[in-house]
Structure 1
């Protein structure tokens, strides 16, 4: 059975390690298998308002960033989660005014943290499916998919968490 969910929103070993510890496992024991794919799209505007416009136009599905998680399980209940993060990447940050560059960097950190919350939902879905020995997997996927929507509604797609560029 293969199911996925996309949440509006580079392999980072510290994040994976922190996530495994947070979820109560060491890297060697971490189940299900977690793979992370990093994608970017280019922006090159030099003002905050122009960057906002470009991200709206060039970002995945009209979002500034996007997280897609995909849970896969076998008949033996071997689970894996593939998390794909798509984030903006400036072609030449040196062209940004120093104040805009500082805001851009802060924005990217907050945006990444928000997207990682979506990724965590995929891992939690897989862990819950594993605990039930792969029973009711579709219902679990639906539950965590809804949590992605709740997260975005509660945080206004991260704006309440600092995902602001001005």
Structure 2
């Protein structure tokens, strides 16, 4: 049995891109989270959920789809959806496609909260993220990040992986 060789270290350009991505993500997320709290008393994940539902043609998605879309654990998503439901921003019901599934639907109040937070959200994105970039840079960045996202999505997030069922071994 041979040991696998460790991967080669990242070169300076790779390491620089990685650290810049982490820092940009952290700085942007911090400001976005503050804006969402101030404008709509929403967490980042709650905003993602409402925005995803608001973007759906019928305003509904299955819980599994939501978990995959926002890359969040099933239990964490259930908790967040419960908070949104208590606030009257979403409803939950049985899935028409699968009796075991749950469908979440945005309410009119949820759409109102989105309308309330979106202007400030767009302002933050423009001011912090897009303003220093030329249009060509934005297009290049969108293209590059789409390639990376699609690659990462080709490896399903944990919420999309089939659940393991424990099976007791039978002795014969």
TM-score, normalization: structure 1?
0.28
Higher strand share: 1
TM-score, normalization: structure 2?
0.27
